[in-house]
């Protein structure tokens, strides 16, 4: 991605006039390529050159925003096909569908209440998609009023009828909803509507070809805040289309597909609906619209999203040292684990669900797990004893008892000798901590 210094250099005046503060045009080009300078610094650069450089340096997928104020959701701006190469930037916006024929007060109350807490992270539904199922413009507008009054969530307005869209958009324009959708018949009017209210616009094709054509037509009308829908609804076809859209944008810089994407589930059964949503979330959809509004369905989906969009290159470590869970005091139990984030978060999650204020001593194992660190001689009687000393644990609690993972039960004797503490062998898996704590510390 991005242009090389030489490619940029070709577009510059090549007069070496030094106005930009660099000794030569080439030096300036190099600085530009490294993101250290801005093109504005050169007074003589031509308009054509500006345009050529801007479009060539643009990211393969444009960032498009939906929502306003601190509720803005950023979409697109992705550069990768595979998660292991580099982090996926913007987590899929999980969107629940409601219809203008539903009992909206009730449904919105349920959706507003969908917030989840798991391993210290909070999730909630990102958007609602209001569907003009009635086919009636008046009803759609009235539903938009209800939405405005009853929820602060971001909105996707779903109607291909421009009159209905106009009415609803009048109500909700300040929320910057996603206008769904421009199709081959209505695109001029839809584009005008979205453009006049400065709202993002979804473009719905009948297949990839017609989608690309339609995008080009809308871009020619001067609007680029777009979100793509190939129109497919069968699981396998949607997977293929989302893959092509991402690949062509990233690998070929195919402009018509350089926008975020939206996918709709097509099932009536809430469990099947969840399965489809899982596929689309795994493979590149920027927005997934699904029907189920049950906590037990959405929690796994949010968890998968949280996992998929983590940074694969960030060393999976937490700060070694002593971590207090709850209002830990001098009588609180002490658990010992490594500083591998996965181990630590597991233990932390379990310890906090015991609701007994506790300490977790995270020993610096260079981010390796209990067993690996044990095998590598990083998680040993010596290293644990040293951590007890260096964290001042002896002054923090007035007992001398520490719980070690069941997987390294063999360390008990040597750690007792080394540290002078009593060692309790805990469960082998973090999932056993709740039961263990109930028996030992409750």
Rounded least distance, CB 245 to ligand SF4, Å: 37
- Which does residue 275 bind out of ligand SF4, other proteins, none, counting CB within 5 to 8 angstroms by kind? other proteins
124 makes contact, choosing from other proteins, ligand SF4, none, with CB < 5 to 8 Å by partner type, with none
Query: Which backbone phi and psi does 96 adopt, to 5 degrees?
Result: -105, 135
20 binding partner (options ligand SF4, other proteins, none; Cβ < 5 to 8 Å by kind): ligand SF4
Q: Which is nearer to other proteins, 350 or 364 (CB)?
A: 350
Buried b (16+ CB within 10 A) or exposed e, 253-273: bebbbbbbbbbbbebeeeeeb
Q: Which residues contact 84 (CB under 8 A, 6 or more apart)?
A: 312
Residues forming contacts to ligand SF4 in the complex (CB under 6 A) are 12-13, 15-20, 22, 25, 28, 42, 44
Residues within the interface to other proteins (CB under 8 A): 82-84, 115-119, 208-209, 211-213, 216, 234-237, 239-240, 243-244, 247-248, 251-252, 254, 256-257, 271-272, 274-276, 278-279, 282-283, 294-301, 303-304, 306-308, 310, 312, 342, 346, 350, 353, 429, 431, 434
Cβ distance to ligand SF4 smaller for residue 12 or 53: 12
For residue 52, the minimal CB distance to ligand SF4 (Å) is 15
Q: Given the complex with other proteins, which of 151 and 369 has the nearer CB atom?
A: 369
Residue 36 or 252: the one with the smaller Cβ distance to ligand SF4 is 36
Q: Which does 299 bind (CB under 5 to 8 A by kind): ligand SF4, other proteins, none?
A: other proteins
Q: Which is nearer to ligand SF4, 16 or 414 (CB)?
A: 16
Burial of 396 (0-12, 13-18, 19+ CB in 10 A): middle
Could you tell me the smallest distance in angstroms from the CB atom of residue 58 to ligand SF4?
A: 21
Which of other proteins, ligand SF4, none has residue 16 at its interface (CB below 5 to 8 Å by kind)? Answer: ligand SF4
């Amino acid at each position: 991605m991005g242009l090389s210094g030489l490619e940029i250099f070709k577009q510059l005046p090549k007069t070496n006039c030094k106005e930009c503060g660099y000794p030569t045009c080439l030096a300036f080009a190099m600085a530009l390529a490294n993101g250290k300078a801005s093109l504005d610094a050169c007074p003589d650069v031509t308009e054509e050159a500006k345009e050529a450089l801007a479009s060539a340096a643009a990211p393969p997928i444009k960032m498009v925003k939906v929502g306003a104020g601190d509720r803005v959701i950023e979409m697109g701006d992705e550069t990768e096909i595979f998660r292991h190469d580099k982090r996926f930037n913007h987590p899929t916006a999980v969107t629940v569908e409601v219809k203008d024929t539903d009992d909206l007060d009730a449904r919105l109350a349920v959706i507003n209440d969908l917030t989840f807490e798991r391993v210290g992270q909070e999730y909630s539904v990102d958007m609602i998609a209001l569907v003009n199922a009635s086919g009636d413009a008046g009803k759609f507008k009235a539903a938009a009023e209800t939405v405005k009054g009853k929820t602060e969530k971001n909105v996707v307005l779903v109607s291909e009828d421009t009159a209905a869209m106009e009415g609803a958009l009048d109500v909700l324009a300040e929320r910057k909803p996603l206008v769904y959708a421009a199709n081959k018949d209505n695109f001029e009017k839809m584009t005008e509507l979205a453009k006049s209210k400065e709202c993002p616009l979804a473009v719905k094709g009948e297949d990839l070809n017609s989608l690309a054509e339609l995008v080009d037509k809308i871009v020619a009308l001067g609007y680029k805040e777009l979100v793509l829908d190939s129109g497919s609804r069968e699981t396998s076809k949607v997977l293929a289309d989302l893959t092509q859209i991402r690949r062509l944008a990233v690998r070929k810089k195919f402009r018509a597909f350089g926008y975020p994407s939206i996918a709709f589930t097509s099932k009536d059964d809430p469990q099947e609906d969840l399965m489809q949503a899982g596929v689309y979330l795994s493979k590149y959809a920027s927005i997934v619209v699904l029907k189920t509004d049950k906590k037990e369905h959405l929690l796994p989906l949010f968890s998968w999203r949280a996992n998929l969009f983590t940074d694969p290159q960030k060393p999976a470590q937490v700060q070694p040292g002593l971590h207090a869970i709850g209002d830990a005091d001098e009588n609180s139990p002490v658990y010992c684990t490594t500083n591998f984030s996965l181990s630590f978060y597991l233990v932390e999650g379990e310890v906090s669900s015991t609701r007994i204020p506790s300490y977790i001593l995270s020993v610096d194992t260079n981010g390796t797990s209990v067993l690996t660190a044990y095998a590598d001689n990083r998680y040993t009687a010596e290293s644990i004893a040293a951590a007890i000393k260096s964290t001042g644990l002896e002054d923090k609690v007035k007992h001398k008892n520490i719980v070690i993972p069941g997987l390294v039960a063999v360390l008990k004797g040597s750690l007792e000798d080394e540290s002078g503490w009593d060692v309790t062998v805990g469960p082998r898996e973090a999932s056993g901590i709740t039961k263990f704590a109930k028996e030992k510390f409750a």
